[in-house]
Amino acid sequence: MASPLVLVLVLFLVMPIIMIGTVSFWRATEFSIIPAFDFENYSFLFGSPVTYSVFLNTLKYALITWAVTLTLGYTVAYFLAFHVRSLTWQIVLFLLCTIPFWTSNIIRMISWIPFLGRNGIANSALLSWGVIDEPLDWLLFSDFSVILAFVHLYTLFMVVPIFNTMMRIDKSLIEAARDGGANGLQILWNVIIPLTKPGIMIGTIFVVTLVMGDFVTVRIMSGSQSANVGRLISNDIALLQYPSAAATAVVLLCSVLIVIGIFLRFVDIRKEL
């Protein structure tokens, strides 16, 4: 009975990864691709200081985005699960959170440009309120705008698994903790957070993997002034350097798997699945 699922996984997951790994050992010239087993792509990749800089930049985006989305996502999920008593209102408010995701990621990213620009809404408002004397240049085409776009795009991926986990918590446990004299902060730290760790971990895996593999957001929101690993791969593909792009993709895949492996050592998400 499992054979159809195994076949699907082999055809659409295992085989593409094997092909990418194979191509990563090929050589490419300006005019052709040579199928040969060669470590030239990897030696160039690991021998370039740009590679380490870009990977560190990618990791920086992932960690900052993860921290912000976790804070926002946990707050929203906590409010929906424990402060909204009516199931109808929970559904309504949750659907409101999903409305921005009914549009394209590109549209949602571009919508920040007139808001954050030098003559945009944010700078105009701050100038009119007397908060600043001149427009802020770092609001747009900077790391700030990139991370802001990431948070906007991926917060829901943190909200959903955490909210799902919180809804499964037995309310009698919280009542027992309250009867035992625990205050709200103690209940949150000692009861709710430990029971929601699987949801936190699932949301973390979603956010980190999406951010580390993204390249469009970085290109648009940084004004092509910053780079991540996804942009390296995109640039190689644009130059028809498929072996180099494949080698970078393999290294990125291994990096993401290592990060996920580290996360999974802290929480057993099989309890949630």
pLDDT digits (tens, 9 = 90+) for 48-100: 888 899 999 999 999 999 999 999 999 999 998 888 877 788 888 878 877 77
Buried b (16+ CB within 10 A) or exposed e, 56-72: ebbbebbebbbebbbee
**Residue 105 confidence class, pLDDT cut points 50, 70, 90:** confident
DSSP β-ladder status, 33-34 and 27-28: antiparallel
Q: Does pLDDT of 271 surpass 70?
A: no
pLDDT at 269: 66
Whole-prediction pTM value? 0.88
What tokens were used for 78?
Answer: 């906590």
Q: What is the pLDDT of residues 204-261, one digit of tens each?
A: 999 999 999 888 889 888 887 888 898 889 888 888 889 999 999 999 999 888 888 8
The C-alpha atoms of residue 239 and residue 59 are separated, in whole angstroms, by 25
CATH architecture of 50-271: Orthogonal Bundle (1.10)
**Residue 113 confidence class, pLDDT cut points 50, 70, 90:** confident
Q: Does pLDDT of 272 surpass 70?
A: no
Among 266, 82, 269, residue whose Cα is nearest residue 188: 82
Residue bearing the bigger pLDDT, 67 or 272: 67
Q: What is the mean pLDDT of the chain?
A: 87
Are the C-beta atoms of residues 210 and 229 closer than 8 Å to each other?
no
pLDDT at 273: 55
Q: Does pLDDT of 33 surpass 60?
A: yes
Percent of the chain past pLDDT 90, that is, above it, reads 33
The C-alpha atoms of residue 45 and residue 244 are separated, in whole angstroms, by 8
List the chain domain ranges. Answer: 50-271
Which of helix, strand or coil describes residue 24? coil
**Residue 132 confidence class, pLDDT cut points 50, 70, 90:** confident
For the ranges 7-21, 26-40, 242-256, which has the lowest average pLDDT?
Answer: 26-40
pLDDT at 227: 85
Q: At what angle do helices 229-238 and 197-213 cross, to 10 degrees?
A: 30
For the ranges 100-104, 118-122, 196-200, which has the lowest average pLDDT?
Answer: 100-104
Q: What is the pLDDT of residues 136-158, one digit of tens each?
A: 888 888 899 999 999 999 999 99
**Residue 28 confidence class, pLDDT cut points 50, 70, 90:** confident
Task: Please state the rounded mean pLDDT for residues 166-186.
Answer: 86
pLDDT at 15: 94
Task: Please state the rounded mean pLDDT for residues 192-211.
Answer: 91
